[in-house]
Amino acid sequence: ESVPTGLAYSPGSSTYAAGGTATSAAPTVYSGNGSAVTYAITNTGSLPAGITINTATGVLSAGATVAPGTYVVSLSATNTTSYGTSTAAFPSVYTFTVLSPGCTGTDAGGSAAQAGLYGEYFTGYFGAATGNDTDDNLAFFSTNSAKLKVVASNLNFASTGSWATAGLNLFSAGVATGSDAVPTKFSARYRGRIYISTAGDYTFYLNSDDASYLFLDAAATATTLTVASATVNNGGVHSSGTTRSGTKYLAVGLHDLQVLYGQDPTDSHLVLQYAGPAGSGITQQVVPNGVLCSSSTTRPLPVVLTRFAAQAAGQAVAVSWATASEQHSAWFEVERSADGVAFAKIGRVAAAGTTSQGQQYQLSDRAPLPGTSYYRLRQIDLDGTAHYSPVATVQLAAPATPL
């Protein structure tokens, strides 16, 4: 008798937009003695009905009815030999991520949008030890640099140890004092969007130790955040378990969202919950991963961009752009992609800062990709905020092969 071993999928995950479908490749598995293997999902109770498996091939499918969210699939594999039947368990072998409708674009770090919120972690507490929200310094996040940037699935840090449990070792990353198990003296900013499927009044709850704020819609993407514009104000230093709430009418669709958080002494808790209107089926609960999107509504560049172009120049690509005026502009980064989704920086050019005079810029990509490439401009403000230009496409012929 030989138990199946080594079951794996490559790739091990699929991401698709709500209303679409996704299918895995067949897994590899060592069955022993050349016997056939049959497969079964073992955690069907925690998965929607639209996620199924072909029991003969092991191919997983997620249908159009699967709601936005992240779903991790566990399997069993069974083989039958002349000695009998053997079954082995393979937990958490494949992940389906279903994005909210319209969850596209890139997050503040330039990566493709995914379920969750774009998180940034800063050394130091943005608030004041007075316990008064009027003394909290919301400009802290635009005048300091984040030491750790990672997408958070949701905001459910219900205990001091929750940060490390979520893989956020803030002390080791140089963000917090204390320890990874008990991080202290740090701040965090979370940005993205929330999908609303039923219009109506939504009540949001922030439970935190210490200060936290929730901003929605235009307030979430404003250049300057204010305490007065927060939907939920849980500011100031206060004890663990302090919860404050706020209610706002939200139409169907995606809404910009930003949460600020700071921890001063000892305990560190942050939980974001919401409750929806009658008919939404949303009783007070942690805002789930599936309704969150890590990208924000695209804002215009803080420069008047009059031209952005990329064109083949022999075996190089010439990238050029022009601005009519600039405000607080630090530098430009030219990014390139082979598929129009995943971009990487290929060069950096200093900007003019603040000027009402027209400016001309250029950069040469001397090691371009063969075939079709995509270029875009990433403009960085003096406060570190990034903005993106439209994408330019270039078709470059492969170099001739010597005879």
pTM tops 0.85, yes or no: no
Q: Are 73 and 95 in contact (CB under 8 A)?
A: yes
Residue 259 CB neighbours (<10 A)? 26
DSSP string covering 302-366: SEEEEEEEEEEETTEEEEEEEEEEEEEEEEEEEEEESSSSS-EEEEEEEEEEEESS-EEEEEEES
Distance of CA 387 to the CA centre of its chain: 16
Phi-psi region of 134 (alpha: psi -120 to 50; beta: other; left: phi over 0): alpha
Tokens for 365, please give them.
Answer: 């990509």
Q: How many CB atoms lie within 10 A of CB 370?
A: 12
Distance CA 165, CA 162 (A): 5
Q: What is the pLDDT of residue 176?
A: 95
Structure tokens at 93: 């072998």
Predicted pLDDT at 384: 72
Domain ranges of the chain: 5-99, 117-293, 303-396
Architecture of the domain made up of 117-293:
Sandwich (2.60)
The enclosing H or E element of 164 equals: helix 162-165
Nearest to 347 by CA among 320, 384, 312, 307: 320
Instruction: Write the DSSP string, 207-220.
Output: EEES-EEEEETHHH
Residue 2, SS3? coil
- CB-count exposure of residue 147 (10 Å: 0-12, 13-18, 19+): middle
Q: Fold identical between 5-99 and 117-293?
A: no
The arrangement of secondary structure in 5-99, i.e. its CATH architecture, is: Sandwich (2.60)
Task: Indicate the length of the chain as a whole number.
Answer: 403
Question: Which of the following CATH numbers is that of domain 303-396: 3.90.180.10, 2.60.40.10, 3.10.20.90, 3.30.70.260?
Answer: 2.60.40.10
Q: Confirm if 374 and 391 have CB atoms less than 8 A apart.
A: yes
Q: Splitting the chain (403 residues) into consecutive groups of 10 residues, what average pLDDT does each group show?
A: 87 88 94 80 93 97 89 92 85 92 85 90 83 78 91 93 92 94 95 94 95 94 89 88 93 94 88 94 91 82 88 94 92 91 90 94 95 92 79 79 49
Q: What is the model's pLDDT at position 203?
A: 98
Contacts of 138 (CB under 8 A, 6+ apart): 126, 213, 225, 226, 227, 260
